[in-house]
Amino acid sequence: MDAVTRAVGLLSQPDVLLVVLLAAVYGLFVGAMPGLTVTMAVALFVPFAMFLNPVPALAAIVTLQAMGIFAGDIPAALVRMPGTPASAAYVDDSFALSQQGKARLVLAVDVLASSFGGLLGAAALMVGAPLLAEWALGFSSFEYFWLAVLGLSSTAFIATGSPLKGAVSVTLGLLLATVGIDITLGFPRFTFGIPELLDGVGFIPAMIGLFGFSEVLRGVLSGRMQLAYAPLEPEPAFVPALRILWRYRLQALRGGLVGLVTGVLPGAGADIGAWLAYGVSRKFSKEPQRYGRGSMEAIVESGVANNSDLAAEWIPTLVFGIPGDSFTAVVLGILMMKGMRPGPAVLHDYRDVLVAIYLAFILANVLMVPFGFAAIRASSHLLRVPRNVLLPAIAMVCVVGSYAINNSLFDVGVMLVMGVAGLLLEALGFPVAPVVLGMVLGPLVEQNFMISLIKSEGAWVQFVARPVSLALAVLTALVWALPAAGFVRGLAARLRATAGAA
Amino acid sequence: MNAGETAAGLLLLALGAYVSATASRFPHLATGYPGPGLFPQVLGVLLAVQGIALVAAGFRGSDPPSFPWTRRDLFNGFLVVLAVGVYVVASPRLGFLVTSALVLTGLMARLGAGLGRSLLLGPALAGALYLLFGKVLRVPLPPGLLG
């Protein structure tokens, strides 16, 4: 109980609360603007996080994310441009409903579903993290190796369009991670004589480029500088939204559960939670024909899932240092920056900070209701901000933000290159998030692989000798089996077709 | 044939081959265990194989949809990239305020914000960024001409 009292004390400092409030507004704004994403928001927030203490920095991030993920539903419903990939799972339903004159109702349901999901996630985090940490104390390099590989495989293969392209993205990310001095011999790899590359490709400038600058480029290339949107209906929506949430309460709980499970799975992020919940929802629904055309049921279930996911993702990030998606990858970077190395120890050594984070989750999701409704009311004004002013401004923020990390113009160059690369990758159908996870998990995979190799003295069977390693290896094999089966089936079909034609 | 995929596949094949070849020349650990070269080599081979698979998929695939971007928008995109390049080169000499004001004004005007509005908002936003990053966060932004 003292930890809670101390955490409340930490959180209720006026400067911390101010930062949280500003982060809430920032998250809502970025989430609600089409073309700006929550990942961009947190990447651009990092320069500020550097100067804040751990508690306000992390509380701000929690708030920013919770608000942003909800706010992404606003442009999804109003202009069919999801503000975050997670909102994309139900964008067709949201947009259809707002075209039917129910925009305000849809968004109200979104707020309440998001808030509920977030609180579920916070509860899971508070209970789950210490439990998992206890269990993870016995983990060795073998387990960490398989966990990282599982995470990378999940990212590449689960819920991406093409498993091959997902795998390419992961490999590219892993390759980027090899740039710099290696851990075994201190040998500079792929630095081409550039001293700034000895530390590797700057992670934060790369993130800002991949998620901030590439979005700017995409916005400029789309040529859409003013957006047309559906107006909000005048009827108040709070009570009707509550009734809808109650009507679909079982779906809400089920969605929350799906979100929690995908959150805890390393490598699977918020986007996947919402998509999975949507699929599950449609499968079990009594009105599957409405899905895609305006199903409130779908919105409730996926909306809860993509917020319950958020807190659950912090569990593998905190306990194993394995992020669930690009957002938690940035969180990981910030934790390391503050000297909080993830691992079972961090839950013990930084107990007060962590309890403060749990409380911040609760605070953010409670605040989401009044703030969210205010944002809905302001949404028509937000959408009127001219993009030909907004996009150059964000481009400049990307530049200064990347520069600010190390006072280095080279980092600005990294940001630029990665921004263009991100644009090209997405244009060709390659997912970008696996690149980031490859960059983050690359060192983890390599380190634990080398340590395990040296420990086992060449006896490969050691890699699956321990029970948890074996289980993780089997899980990884299962994740690989899905696309492999698809590939074999495709091959067989093509062979049959050519045989039939002959 | 999906030209984009095939081209990407060939690029990846080339990259994978290059990485593998370079990494094979990295030193080894004294005890004979693989050193810094192992991982990049594995990744290089992986990338090359994926590249081949992509080329195959590209040959089998259908024609991709026509280029979604207009020539004007592509040019604007190129200008944005160029603007950042200009910033990197010019800011040490001209300073943050001057360079960013120029970049912002230029881009806004080019994207259709109107000359008057751009001339007003460009320097204003540059100033706001200077206050936020230079003063609040104390990032040492180059003073340049105004120093």
Residue B29 lies in a domain: yes
Residue A169: partners with Cβ closer than 8 Å, 6 or more residues away: A156, A425, A430, A431, A432, A433, A434, A435, A438
How far is it, in rounded angstroms, from Cα B55 to Cα A263?
35
Question: B53 and B84 in one domain?
Answer: no
Q: Which residue of B has its CA nearest to A411?
A: B88
Average pLDDT over residues A143-159: 81
pLDDT band at B107; cut points 50, 70, 90: very high
How far is the alpha carbon of B99 from chain A, nearest alpha carbon, in Å?
A: 11
Q: Which residues of B touch A172 (CB under 8 A)?
A: 47
Task: Show the DSSP H helices in A52-102 as ranges.
Answer: 54-71, 73-79, 91-97
User: What rounded mean pLDDT belongs to chain B?
Assistant: 87
| pLDDT at res. A159 | 57
Q: Look at A454 and B33 and tell me if their CB atoms are within 8 Å.
A: yes
Q: How confident is the model at residue A465 (pLDDT cuts 50, 70, 90)?
A: confident
Q: Which of residues 35-64 of A touch B (CB under 8 A)?
A: 47-48, 51
Residues of B in contact with A164 (CB under 8 A): 50, 53-54, 57
A115 has pLDDT over 70: yes
The structural domain count of chain B equals 2
Q: How far is CA B90 from CA A325, A409, A411, B97, in A?
A: 36, 11, 16, 11
CA distance readout (Å), A9 to A2, A80, A199, A441, B23: 10, 42, 38, 35, 53
B131 lies in a domain?
A: yes
Using a CB–CB cutoff of 8 Å, tell me whether A399 touches chain B: yes
Residue A74, pLDDT above cutoff 80 = yes
> Do B49 and B14 have their domain in common?
yes
Q: Rounded mean pLDDT of A127-140?
A: 84
* Same domain, residue pair B56 and B78: no
Contact check, Cβ <8 Å, B22/A190: yes
pLDDT at B66 over 70: no
Query: Do residue B85 and residue B141 come from a single domain?
Result: yes
Residue B88 parent element (H or E): helix B71-94
CB contact under 8 A, A388 and B108: yes
Q: Using the beta-carbon criterion (under 8 Å), do A392 and B139 form an inter-chain contact? A: no
ipTM of the complex: 0.91
Please give the helix or strand (H or E) that residue B141 lies within, else none. Answer: none
pLDDT mean over A55-70: 91
Instruction: Give the Cα separation of A371 and A122 in Å (integer).
Output: 19
Within this chain, do residues B76 and B35 fall inside the same structural domain, yes or no? no
Tell whether A221 lies on the interface with B, counting CB pairs under 8 A: yes
Q: How many Å lie between the alpha carbon of B14 and the closest alpha carbon of chain A?
A: 13
Chain A nearest-CA distance from B137, in A, is 7
The verdict on a CB contact (< 8 Å) between A396 and B103 is yes
| Chain A, nearest residue to B28 by Cα | A185
pLDDT value, residue A432: 83
CB contact under 8 A, B87 and A217: no
Alpha-helical (H) ranges within A190-295 are: 203-207, 214-222, 238-247, 249-264, 270-284
Percent of chain A with pLDDT over 90: 19
Put simply, the answer to whether B8 touches A399 (Cβ < 8 Å) is no
| Domain boundary assignment for chain A | 2-501
Mean pLDDT across chain A, nearest whole number? Answer: 85
B137 shares a domain with B80: yes
pLDDT tens for A394-446 read 999 999 988 988 888 999 999 999 999 999 998 888 888 788 888 888 888 88
Q: Which residues contact A432 (CB under 8 A, 6 or more apart)?
A: A169, A210, A211, A214, A326, A422, A425, A426
Residue A67 has pLDDT above 70, yes or no: yes
- Can you tell me which residue has the tokens 């998001």? A114
Is the residue at B37 inside a domain?
yes
Q: What pLDDT shows up at residue A186?
A: 83
CB contact under 8 A, A48 and B57: no
Q: How many CB atoms lie within 10 A of CB A374?
A: 12
Pick A164's closest partner by Cβ from B53, B91, B141. Answer: B53
| Structural tokens at position A50 | 């550097």
Q: B-contacting residues of A 269-298, CB under 8 Å? A: none
Cα separation, A55 vs A102, in Å, equals 39
With cut-offs at 50, 70 and 90, classify the pLDDT of residue A278. confident
Asked whether residue B66 is assigned to any structural domain, the reply reads no
Place of tokens 């696309």: A483
Interface-testing mutation among A18, A172, A184, with chain B (most B C-beta atoms within 10 A): A184
pLDDT at B49: 93
Domain check: are B40 and B94 in the same one? no
Name residues 409-468 of chain A within 8 A of B (Cβ).
409, 412-413, 415-416, 419-420, 427-430, 446, 449-450, 453-454
Whether A172 has its CB under 8 Å from any CB of chain B: the answer is yes
Q: Do B80 and A48 touch (CB under 8 A)?
A: no
Highest mean pLDDT among A39-43, A53-57, A244-248, B83-87 belongs to B83-87
A227: tokens are: 């957006």
Mean pLDDT computed over A264-270: 74
- Dist CA A102 CA A234 (whole Å): 10
Name the minimum distance, in Å, from the CA of B93 to any CA of chain A.
13
**Which pLDDT tens digit goes with each residue over A287-300?**
888 887 888 898 99
DSSP SS3 for B18: helix
From A166, A169, A168, A188, select the one nearest A179 (Cα to Cα): A188
* A189 bridge partner residues: A180
Q: Find which of B20, B107, B117, B118 to mutate to test the A interface (most A CBs within 10 Å of its CB).
A: B107
Based on the domain organization, do B76 and B131 belong to the same domain?
A: yes
Q: Domain check: are B52 and B80 in the same one?
A: no
Among A210-219, A352-361, B92-101, the range of highest mean pLDDT? B92-101
What pLDDT is recorded for position B64?
A: 66
B65 lies in a domain? no
Banded model confidence at residue B133, pLDDT cuts 50, 70, 90:
confident
CA distance A54 to A69: 22
Taking an 8 Å cut-off on Cβ atoms, the answer to whether A454 and B133 are in contact is no
User: Domain span at residue B103?
Assistant: 71-146
Local confidence band at B32 (pLDDT 50, 70, 90 cut-offs): low
Contact B103 A428 (CB under 8 A): no
How many other C-beta atoms are found inside a 10 Å radius of the C-beta of residue A233? 14
Which tokens sit at A256?
């929350």
